[in-house]
Each structure stands twice: as structure tokens, then as C-alpha cells.
Amino acid sequence: MSYKQDKSAAINKLQNYIDSPEKQEALYRRTLVIVVLSQIFGGAGLAAGITVGALLAQDMLGTDSFSGVPTALFTLGSAGAALLVGRLSQRFGRGSGLAAGFLAGGIGAIGVVVSAITNNILLLFVSLLIYGSGGATNLQARYAGTDLASPKQRATAISIAMVSTTFGAVAGPNLVDVMGRFATKIGVPALSGPFILAAATYILAGLVLLVLMRPDPLIVAKAIADEKRKNKNILSESNTNTLTFNKRGIIAAATLMVLTQLVMVAIMTMTPVHMGEHGHGLREVGMIIGFHVGAMYLPSLLTGILVDKIGRTFMAIAAGVTLLSAGILAAMAPGESIILLTLALILLGLGWNFGLISGTAMLVDSTNHTNRAKMQGTVDVMVALSGASGGLLSGVIVANSSYATLSIAGGILSLLLIPVLIWSSTMKIKVHA
């Protein structure tokens, strides 16, 4: 078949979806299934590697002075990959962009294993940077389900992707010991075992997207939007007004996700340190962080429904109030009280969940097919960098003041969401299809 015939067949296939709402709905549901499958694999790859990254660096370097380097490199790699995945998705489709990110993460994980075998520190650091691509892609996959979703389905689609990540994220750390024994059996360092799992799961996630996500939902959504624009013959003046509103909506969505990420990471990072100073062991720390991570992801389905039914702004404000409550409770809780600290970390995770899902839905609403994936990648870069900043600044604040000061400051900072949301809503909202 010639190139012209291939192109003609592709156009005809797209036209079939443009002309059939039933086919659009079927593709939307199929896309969600593919996203769920890829997120389960991706979550396992993310959690397995992060669990032992610092330990591997400590073992290879012979000191714990640089044990924080893996997290820093992972975050930096995630930020760069978020930008690239967004641009690749915008140009070539959601499946191609996400597959590239996951496959790069898998290659990075393989590099980590090779660096452990050869005891090559430089290769370890470069590989960890590339490995960060998987984390960024895992987060960006939440957008894929929204491409063909109606405005009233978008937050629910986002939440389905986030819940799916939980299954892999829970399984990954629990397989660390198993993979360590497997690594030993095949003659490689035990700490590289989880990265063998990460390589396999990231590559599987990439292949699932590359092979199964056809036709691509973003490409179909672009074709549908172009057809609607052509039929309605939208006036350029109305387009200009829409773009003005979009800028406010994008700023509000980005501010919401950046602030919730900053506050959550800052308080979460220093809680284990705070607990250690009050005599709590790893068992108690692990339990509290487990509850926190559960609160970050498990309520997602309910949150998505609430965001779609009650509204983005209401749930965004709820995110700020919940984070404030978490900060106050964390500050006031006696260091010896496991129950109150657990409740504070649950509220912290829940506030993050409200903020990320409502912010993601707002961002989708405020963009159109010409800039959606690209803008999503750009905003996720800011989210990744805000998390890194929160982790770094939290230590400085606690060192010069206290955990209580950090918690109160984080809670108050989250209230900045409210004036931004009020400002963004001063213009009439127009939701993009």
C-alpha cells in the first residue's frame, strides 16, 4: 500500500469516529482500560525504584552524605521529561508521547542495574536522571483519559488513572525483598533487584500504550474539534475572548497544583524526621506514611465524581481548607501522639488529592486541542519543581525554626489558592470540548 493510500485510509478511519458519537464513547472507554493497565505497571516501576534508590547510592558511594542525590536526580529528570512528553504527545499523539516516556524510564532503570554491576557512579547518576522519565510519564498518563471525555466526565477519568497507580505503587515496594533475592541469584547486587522490576514494568507500560492505544484519543479529539470549528465557522473575535479566559484558567489550575504539591511534600518530608526526634521507629513512620499515601490516591474515584458534580472551584477551595487543617493539626499534635500525626498526614494526602484532581480538570477545561498536551507538560514541570523545592525548603525551615512552624506556614500558604480562584472566575467560564 502506498503512502497516499495509507494517509487516505487513516483519514477515513478518523472520519468514522468524527461521524459517530457511539464510536467516540467506545474509544473513550477503551482508552480508560489501556490507561489503567499502563498505570498499574507504571506505578510498580515508580515505587520499586524509589524505595531503594538512596540505599543503592549509599552502598556504592560508601557514605550517606549523597544519599539524597537519587531523589534530586529523579525529580530533575521528571521535570525535563514532563516537558518532552507533553510536546511529543501534542505532535504525535498521546500514546506515542507516553510510550516514549515509559520506555525511557525503563532504559534508565536498566542503566541503574548496569551501574550497580560495574560500580560506576557516573553511570548511576545519569541513569537515575533518565529513570525519572517514568515518574513524569506516570503522572501525565492521567490526562490521556480526558481527551475524549465530556466536560462532566473529565475529573472522573483523571481519578480512574490515579486509583490505578495505587495498585502498582503498593505492589512495587512489597516486591523489593523478592527482587533483591532474585538479583542475588543471578549474580547482581541485591539493591539493583527493584530496578530490574522497574525496567520490566516501565517497558511493559510503554508497549501497552504503543501497541494498544490506536487510534490515538488525542488525535481523534483534535479531528473532532477541527470538524466542529469548521462547521460552526467560529468568528475570530470570539476566539480571542476564549484565549483571554484560558490564560486565567491555566494560571489558576497551575497555581492550585503547584501550591498543593509544595505544601504536601514539605510537611510530608519532615514528618519522619519529627517522629524520629520523639522516639518513634521505622515501623511507626512506615505506618503513617502508608496512611498518607493511601489518602493521596484511594479517595480519587469519589473525588473525581465530586469535582464533576459539585464543581472544580468548590473542590479546589476544599483542597486549601483541608491542607490548612492538616497543617494546624500537625503543628498542634504532640510529637508522641501517633493517632494525631496519622490524622494530620491523612488530611495532608486528602488535600493534595482534591487539589491535583480539581486542578487537572481545570487545566483540561482551560485548554483546547491546539495546546492541551503541550500545556499539560509545562504545568507538570512546575509541579515537579515545586515538589523538589518543598522538600529542600522544609529542611531549612525546620533547622532554623521547628516542625510546627513549617506545618502552620504550609497550611497558611495553601489559602493563597482562594484569591487566585476568585480572580480566575471573574471572567465567564467557557469549558472546551
**Of the CATH numbers 3.30.390.10, 1.20.1250.20, 3.60.21.10, 2.60.120.620, which one belongs to the domain with range 3-229?**
1.20.1250.20
Print pLDDT tens along the chain (433 aa): 444 545 455 566 777 788 888 888 999 999 999 999 998 888 888 766 666 676 677 678 776 555 556 767 777 888 889 889 999 998 999 999 999 999 999 999 999 999 999 989 899 889 988 998 998 898 888 888 888 888 888 999 999 888 888 777 767 666 777 888 898 999 998 888 889 989 999 999 999 999 999 889 999 888 888 877 777 665 444 444 444 447 889 999 999 999 999 999 889 888 887 888 888 776 787 678 778 878 888 899 899 999 999 999 999 999 999 999 999 999 999 988 889 999 999 999 999 999 999 999 999 999 887 788 889 899 999 998 888 788 778 888 888 888 999 999 999 999 998 899 888 876 544 445 5
What letter does residue 355 receive in the DSSP assignment? H
pLDDT of residue 241: 45
SS3 assignment, position 90? helix
- Identify the pLDDT of residue 63: 62
- What is the Cα–Cα distance from 138 to 152, expressed in whole angstroms? 23
The hierarchical CATH code for the domain 234-424 is: 1.20.1250.20
Q: 127 and 112 in contact (C-beta within 8 Å)? A: yes
**Domain boundaries along the sequence of the chain:** 3-229, 234-424
C-alpha cell at 182: 532474585
Position 389 scores a pLDDT of 83
CA distance 332 to 407: 9
- The alpha carbon of residue 18 and the mean position of all alpha carbons in its chain are separated, in whole angstroms, by 30
CA angle 200, 205, 208 (to 5 degrees): 120
- Residue 161 belongs to what H/E stretch? helix 154-174
**pLDDT value of residue 51:** 60
Do 3-229 and 234-424 have matching folds?
A: yes
Say what the pLDDT of residue 233 is. 61
Q: Write the CB contacts of 46 (distance below 8 Å, at least 6 apart in sequence).
A: 134, 135, 138, 165, 168, 169, 172, 198
Which three three-digit cell numbers place residue 294?
493511601
Note whether 139 and 297 are within 8 A (CB). no
Question: Cβ neighbours of residue 134 under 8 Å, at least 6 residues apart?
Answer: 42, 45, 46, 49, 101, 102, 104, 105, 106, 108, 109, 198, 202, 205
